[in-house]
Amino acid sequence: NAADQYTVWVSSDYTNDVQTATWTQVNITYPAASGWSFTTTTAKLPAVGKNARVAFKYKNEAGAKTITWEINNLSIR
pLDDT at 37: 67
Residues 6+ away with beta carbon under 8 Å from 11: 21, 22, 23, 24, 48, 52, 53, 55
- Predicted confidence at residue 17, as pLDDT, reads 93
The Cα–Cα gap between 72 and 63 comes to: 28
Single pTM value for the model: 0.72
pLDDT at site 35: 63
Q: Distance between CA atoms of 5 and 48, rounded to whole angstroms?
A: 24
- The 10s digit of each residue's pLDDT in 12-24 is 899 999 999 999 9
Q: Are strands 53-58 and 6-11 parallel, antiparallel or unpaired?
A: antiparallel
Neighbours of 14 (CB within 10 A): 19
Successive 10-residue mean pLDDT values, the chain, 77 residues = 78 91 85 66 72 83 70 77
